[in-house]
Structure 1
């Protein structure tokens, strides 16, 4: 073989790696973008409660509309992805995300809460497309032996986006103007109407910028050449062999689905009502100051993700999950029975121990499954995030009846369910059932 031929062959891996680098960077950025959207909701709950004078249950509909979008669109997103590929699903998802963000402008102009909820549903529908396509695509944009490392790197950008979302809300949405119910009652009708319109309009410019950035990102991805990541189709072989039926009859798998439902409900609920909890248990705390505790929670979550990954070198994942769930039960109960500073710091600390729960439950749920079962199982586990809609609303209803501190009994119960799931896996290293 000539030297020129050898040089050409040696250059091929490097050229292939270069061709994958820009698409990989663009796809990894998506984890940041949906982190921004997810945690801006925590700010919106506090803002809309003020702007529309909502009950805690009504304010919790922000998360209900959001996670309902995920639940309803997850399967259509998968079908779309199989038809138009990863890149097509990403572009379509970003377009929906951008349109939903732009809808905040007319929603604020009309001061209509229902339009805001519809806009959030559209955003969540776009994010369902992004999450369905981005996770597997990251594993394909490079060598198979480093797929896990690439996906972990991508996931690290998600809490960074979450922190950015809270900061955007804290700096550009919260006005710092806090009127008590008594002060509002003392206003004239015109003054009160102007105040509420001003608070509703505070979301317009931040979401306009987000919408334009997201749509611009969709154009960049559309114009970028992506490497061929297609794999041989299986032509529904899984369905023909009753894979989904086997999964649904598996007690261990369905326990994972239940644990994921309760975990997501706990995470979304704690973060959604943290600002409200701070303001209710330490009266007089402005929303901007209360949001600092949410930012701290997200930092703890990010640190916990790396710490948990390191601890799994020494502890079985199920054992670590059980330990963290036990700690979070204690912390959530502290928020119930010791409201105020102790309860606030307990809820912030919860985020550190929540950090490993979603990926660990996910991994244990599909552990030992064949490829077809993993694909079906992954889709069902993603749909379990509907817990974020159901249990956040349950927290709002509890808060309206018994107070925000007692609403933390809901996540405490959720962590009990996670503990039961983890204990079952930890105690039983028995063969997977089929």
Structure 2
């Protein structure tokens, strides 16, 4: 097939490193955008909690419907990816996200929590398709021995989006609402119907802006060409899959629950940080101001991913993962048993240690899967549904107190440590696949 076979660089064709770098740069915009949109949920949780007079469990349904989409839509997304290919799956995913973001207009007009949740599910379904396509694509876009470093690098762009989103949300949502500017997170404020309508509608401007950006990105991806697995490679891989079993690979079998459990910790910490900081005994500040500290949590993840991408060139990925798990567990213990700014800053610093966990678990989980890489990647992406169980931390907060609820993410860090020390060791490893070198114009319009 034209463009599928390796090209000899000595005949004037651009080398793979330069071509792959350009492809990674284009893909980085996707990681930035879905990180940005996902972390806006951390602003929506405290905002909608007051608008609709919810408890913590009900407010965290925002995260439940968001992450349950990964469970429901991962397999359909993988099927679509097989039929449409990486490029058009990305375009379709961006279009679905735009539809979901548009749903915030009727949700805010009718002041309906149910419509908000439905719109979030559609938005998350689009992101699921992007995740299924982009994560494994980046992992095989180059030498297998640097896949963890490469995925951590583009995930750092994801973290750049998560760092910017809280400032955006604090200014345009919390800063323009009664809920965001009331003292102590509006805990003792009762909104009138007019205030509820105004606060609900404060989400319209930022999400309409998101729709515009998503449609622009879809247009860009529709007209560019990206390196792809050659059709011959895919045909051979399909034939070989029948001769192997995913469940013989220990690193995948234990990696699926590792992703699932880690997401409970990441989403629980991010979703409840603003509510935690606004408490009088912790930070005693408004939700709008606390939202700026959320930027530091996700900024720590960005710094950690850039640093992790560099350090993993010299330190084994599993060693880095073990150290991160120990660091996060220690900080969560300080959060639980400390008080005031000590607890506040220890929780914020958890982001630094969470930074490398998802991309590192992901690449360790698909290591040695060979022709089974796509199926294994789909299962790992499906495991992102673990974020839905952050509602369990909401239940703990309602019944035992917000500070004690952080025992749940602390317990999750212990499983990540187990995975790093033993669970990630490959068994029945197969030869890794690498994308064939594309033609010189593979990433140009």
Residue 104 of structure 2 corresponds to residue 104 of structure 1? yes
Indicate the residue corresponding to 1:268 in structure 2: 267
Indicate the residue corresponding to 1:279 in structure 2: 278
Q: Structure 1 or 2: larger helix share?
A: 1
Residue 182 of structure 2 corresponds to residue 178 of structure 1? yes
Indicate the residue corresponding to 2:295 in structure 1: 295
Indicate the residue corresponding to 2:30 in structure 1: 30
Taking a change above 3 Å as real, the CA distance of residues 137 and 323 of structure 1, as seen in their structure-2 partners, is closer
* Residue pair 2:98, 2:210 contacting (<8 A) in 1 also: yes
TM-score, L = length of structure 2? 0.84
Q: Which moved more, 1:13-22 or 1:120-129?
A: 13-22
Taking a change above 3 Å as real, the CA distance of residues 364 and 215 of structure 1, as seen in their structure-2 partners, is same
Question: CA shift at 1:32, angstroms?
Answer: 0.9
Q: What is the CA deviation profile of residues 336-371 of structure 1, one whole-angstrom value per residue up to 9, with x for unaligned ones?
A: 12133111111111111111211222233233x241
* Residue pair 1:332, 1:409 contacting (<8 A) in 2 also: yes
Mapped to 2, the partners of 1:24 and 1:336 lie a distance apart of 40
Question: CA shift at 1:96, angstroms?
Answer: 0.5
Indicate the residue corresponding to 1:380 in structure 2: 379
Indicate the residue corresponding to 1:213 in structure 2: 213
Indicate the residue corresponding to 1:3 in structure 2: none
Aligned pairs for 1:6-405 within 5 A = 12-14=12-14, 25-138=25-138, 151-175=151-175, 176-178=180-182, 180=186, 182-184=188-190, 192-226=192-226, 229-232=229-232, 233-234=235-236, 236-247=238-249, 250=250, 252-280=251-279, 281-282=281-282, 284-367=284-367, 369-390=368-389, 392-405=390-403
* Residue pair 2:31, 2:157 contacting (<8 A) in 1 also: yes
* Residue pair 1:318, 1:425 contacting (<8 A) in 2 also: no
Taking a change above 3 Å as real, the CA distance of residues 54 and 363 of structure 1, as seen in their structure-2 partners, is same
Question: CA shift at 1:413, angstroms?
Answer: 0.7
Higher relative contact order (Cα pairs below 8 Å, separated by 6+ residues): 2
Taking a change above 3 Å as real, the CA distance of residues 397 and 93 of structure 1, as seen in their structure-2 partners, is same
Mind listing any 5+ residue stretches in structure 1 that lack a counterpart? 1-8, 185-190
3-state DSSP class of the match of 1:404?
A: coil
Mapped to 2, the partners of 1:343 and 1:402 lie a distance apart of 17
Taking a change above 3 Å as real, the CA distance of residues 48 and 10 of structure 1, as seen in their structure-2 partners, is same
Taking a change above 3 Å as real, the CA distance of residues 23 and 395 of structure 1, as seen in their structure-2 partners, is same
Indicate the residue corresponding to 1:4 in structure 2: none
Question: CA shift at 1:386, angstroms?
Answer: 1.2
Mapped to 2, the partners of 1:239 and 1:42 lie a distance apart of 40
Q: Which moved more, 1:314-323 or 1:262-271?
A: 314-323
Taking a change above 3 Å as real, the CA distance of residues 146 and 309 of structure 1, as seen in their structure-2 partners, is closer
Taking a change above 3 Å as real, the CA distance of residues 146 and 324 of structure 1, as seen in their structure-2 partners, is closer
Mapped to 2, the partners of 1:394 and 1:196 lie a distance apart of 27
Mind listing any 5+ residue stretches in structure 2 that lack a counterpart? 1-8, 431-445
Question: CA shift at 1:18, angstroms?
Answer: 9.2
TM-score, L = length of structure 1? 0.86
Question: CA shift at 1:150, angstroms?
Answer: 5.8
